[in-house]
Structure 1
Amino acid sequence: MRILVAGATGKTGRRVVRALQDRNHTPIALVREGSDTSHLPSNIELRHGDLTDLPQDVAEGTDAVIFAAGSGSSTGPEMTDKVDLHGARALVDLSKKSGVSRFVMLSSVGAGSPEGTGDMEHYLKAKHDADEHLKASGLDYAILRPVALTDDDGRRHIRFGDDVDTGGEAARGDVAYLLADAVTNPEWSGQTQLMQSL
């Protein structure tokens, strides 16, 4: 499958690209002009676009989309809204227009009930609203909500759902593995899952 990866140059996105290649998919990296692509495979197909102003044909010719992008912890509420909310919503809409088979969203623990989450509330509200937009889009979807991310590869020992320790950790390697799996695994269809690494 040809799979568009938003956030492909990020810490998680780079792992997603490799995980897709390991499954014999063809990842297509959505990158901004001037992005550092040095961590991506040299032969990867690049598609230029900015989540704050996506081209209308950004998802054309792709079978599925993985949203693994984020505005980053150092940006303010305005950029959070532009990327994590409006950018995600726009990519969902353009993906539907292009007829993709599934949209896989990297969300966050806390996005289910963002109220009263302190400094994270604005970010989690943006993720919540983007998730809800995806659910209402009519697209086949999967939403992954990991706990706090680490830069570890992980061991593929993973806990899901109500048993997740919300104060635990999730290895980016495990997250990338699950995002790649969710593209084609029928068990992920229409699912929203909390996860942590063990």
Structure 2
Amino acid sequence: MDKTLVIGANGQIGKLLIQMMTEQKLPVKAMLRKAEQAAEFEKMGAEVVIADLEADLPDAAFADCDKVVFTAGSGGKTGADKTILVDLWGACKVIDKAKRHNIMQFVMVSSRDAGDPEHGTPAIKHYNICKHFADKHLIESHLPYTILRPGKLTDGPLTGTITTTRPTDQEQQFISRADVAACILQCLDHSETVNQIEELYQGDMPIQQAFIKSVKGRLG
């Protein structure tokens, strides 16, 4: 059975994803930076590996995994230096390791303006630039990828319904972290999302249908 390595497991989206996966008895390995975080994830039923994105990544983290989810982030309270080290350089290191270990799918949690940082939110332009080049590195790696670009993240409930079309009203360009986690889980189990880039927002279409509609729309 496929095992998924979740990078950034102790983040809000990562933890929600681990919960969903363990509840469904799906094999998952949580990559954590601090050993004292391990007990919570082991109690959920996840395997744990201790590693730091800012240091050398152990091959053992990837060795028995078929899929990787990258949902790590430097956080909004850190400076641009941490954003570069985690969201860009850390992501690139994970991508390179994943390629060496022949990972079958890499799901990247990016940002809605990673495709066009020049016209994104000025205050987080550096963040969007880092996400842009991390996404580019993933695409050019030729790993089977899924890049998810969620809107503004909220702590709202899991609705199970989204849209992949950006709302014209900026006030509607948001999505709950729980729905993002559910979207990641959907991508890990459905091949139609491979080699696709999808924006994610609150919406009224069930997640699987929204992804299928988006892919069919691009195929004409």
TM-score computed with the length of structure 2 as normaliser: 0.84
Q: CA deviation at 1:55?
A: 2.2
Q: Which runs of 5+ in 1 are unaligned?
A: none
What is the aligned partner in structure 1 of residue 32 from structure 2? 31
The residue that corresponds to 2:127 in the other structure is 123
Aligned equivalent of 1:141: 145
Q: CA RMSD in A?
A: 1.7
Verify the 8 A CA contact 2:41 2:48 in the aligned structure 1: no
Q: Aligned AA for 1:121? A: K
Change (3 A) 1:48 1:164: farther
Counterpart among 45, 67, 70 of residue 67 in structure 1: 70
Q: Judging changes above 3 Å, is the alpha-carbon distance between structure 1 residues 137 and 150 closer, same or farther for their aligned structure 2 residues?
A: same
The aligned counterpart of 1:188 is: 193
Aligned to 2:57: 55
Is it true that 1:82 corresponds to 2:91 in the alignment?
Answer: no
Letter in 1 for 2:160: R
Match of 1:157 in 2: 161
> More relative contact order in 1 or in 2 (CA 8 Å, sep 6+)?
1
TM-score, normalising length: structure 1 = 0.93
Whole-angstrom distance in 1 between the partners of 2:102 and 2:162: 32
> Is there any run of 5+ residues in structure 2 with no aligned partner, and where?
204-220
Identify the structure with the greater helix proportion.
2
1:178 maps onto 2:179 in alignment: no
Give the drift of 1:178. 0.7
1:96 to 94, 99, 102: 99
Structure 1 residues 197 and 34: CA distance shift in structure 2, 3 A: same
Deviation at 1:153, TM superposition (A): 2.5
Aligned-pair CA distance for 1:39: 4.7
1:194 alignment partner, SS class = strand
Aligned residues: 198
